Amino acid sequence: MTTPTTHRHDREADRPELKLARAGSLAAEAEECLSTDHLKEAVASIRERRGPGSEFLGWLDLPGVAKTEVDELRAVAEELRTEVDTLVVVGIGGSYLGARALLDALHWQRRRSASPEILFAGHHLEASAITELLEILEDREFAVNVISKSGTTTEPAIAFRLIRDLLHRRHGPQGAARRIIATTDAKAGALRRLAAQEGYRCFVIPEDVGGRFSVLSPVGLFPLAVAGVDVETLLGGARQQLDRCLHAPEAEVHAIRYAAYRHCAFRRGLAVEVLASFHPSLHQLAEWWKQLFGESEGKEGLGLFPTAVDYTTDLHSLGQALQDGPRILLETFLRADRTEAGPILPHAKEDLDGLEYLAGRSVGEINATALEAVAEAHETGGVPVAEIVIDDLREGSLGGLLAFFEFACAVSGRLLGVNPFDQPGVEAYKLNLFRRLGRPGS
């Protein structure tokens, strides 16, 4: 185990922080749950690496990855940064959601300078979007990072074949091979065989890490490094959070408190958890969160259904249902304490838009006030409201948030009595798709 056992006791070490001031009686239930044998056993099974799915607990070690591995990954990334203007990341689910979430959360598109543009492919089958991507790539000097343990998942396999064909036509087999980096299984699978045959450079998806827990492996780290993200600080934030999750008393670990709170909500009969943020840049992180909890818990008729909203935008579409609809949901606000204040609203000679009372205030201040107003309204309307607070939208805080959610999800699944690390239901649609498309043996 490479995770250090030293602790910090300042505010930064305590973040992400779960606040339950607006959660009503669920908050008290969650506090009581923390002292139960059921919760202590759920936590112990993760800490001691036992129980169903324990062979997929390798994600606990990812933040402590050896410096030599990070250096190797960064060396290839730095080489690509000087040779291409675009990196296409081909993957679906956990193979792309984490990297995409972090790039958006870090406002990478705005702050990047000489970094290649990161495009994502292989996560859908929409023809016009694929056509548009291929047309864009015709005028780009690009490389491909194809991410798949098997190499045969339908959506990314189709996208990769099309993009690889474009590279072959432009650069020939050897030139194409230099521009393709495969992140795949260490030994087995179609993509590993193709990489060996064609001479692709490879990074390994650890065999004890499932896709939705793989963001801090080369799956997420390589495209992030190509984009210029500080992956060492990202890993450091995750390492600090996992240190607390693995060693601190249960009642002091906010990730465990979050798992207990969610479990109490499910036992009460609530069915839906809404992750709400007033930071549009966290939209893709919510997509990652949805897969993490949806695939981990949605089994045997159990689990909260995870969905997400972007405020204040969605207040003008879903706000009515959240305020006055069926009381089947809980709402979890995700907030960063320190964000950009933004522009100051100017004074106007005539107050035709009725905003003069806001003149002199920053947009950030107005947005923060909107959060408080919405939380108050929804609590009054009967929705339990929790809040998860991080310091800022930078690598260290976001690394801690990823680890927070992953550990909470593992404990939450154990509390439900399901294996949080498999996804048997995902195969159902695939079997139907293969049969309808005429795949041999289907």
Contact residues for 285 (Cβ-Cβ < 8 A; gap 6+): 101, 102, 104, 105, 334, 398, 401
The active-site residue, picked from 38, 124, 171, 430, is 430
Spatial distance between the Cα atoms of 214 and 288, rounded to a whole number of angstroms:
11
The active-site residue, picked from 67, 187, 316, 349, is 316
Six-digit token string for 115 = 């970094």
Q: Are 94 and 219 in contact (CB under 8 A)?
A: yes
Q: Are 318 and 329 in contact (CB under 8 A)?
A: no
Instruction: Establish whether 168 is a catalytic residue.
Output: no
Spatial distance between the Cα atoms of 184 and 179, rounded to a whole number of angstroms:
16
DSSP state string for 196-244 = HHHT-EEEEPPTT--GGG-TTSHHHHHHHHHTT--HHHHHHHHHHHHHH
Spatial distance between the Cα atoms of 133 and 130, rounded to a whole number of angstroms:
5
Task: Give the torsion sign (CA, 106, 204, 402, 67).
Answer: negative
The active-site residue, picked from 273, 295, 331, 406, is 295
Instruction: Establish whether 316 is a catalytic residue.
Output: yes
∠ CA 74-182-1, rounded to 5°: 60
Spatial distance between the Cα atoms of 98 and 101, rounded to a whole number of angstroms:
5
Q: Which of 224, 247, 249 is nearest to 235 (CA)?
A: 224
DSSP state string for 293-314 = HHHHH--TT-SPEEEEEETTGG
Instruction: Establish whether 67 is a catalytic residue.
Output: no
Side-chain half-sphere of 130: how many Cα atoms within 13 Å? 17
Q: In what order do the strands lie in the sheet with 142-147?
A: 117-121, 86-90, 142-147, 180-184, 201-204
Active site residues: 295, 316, 430
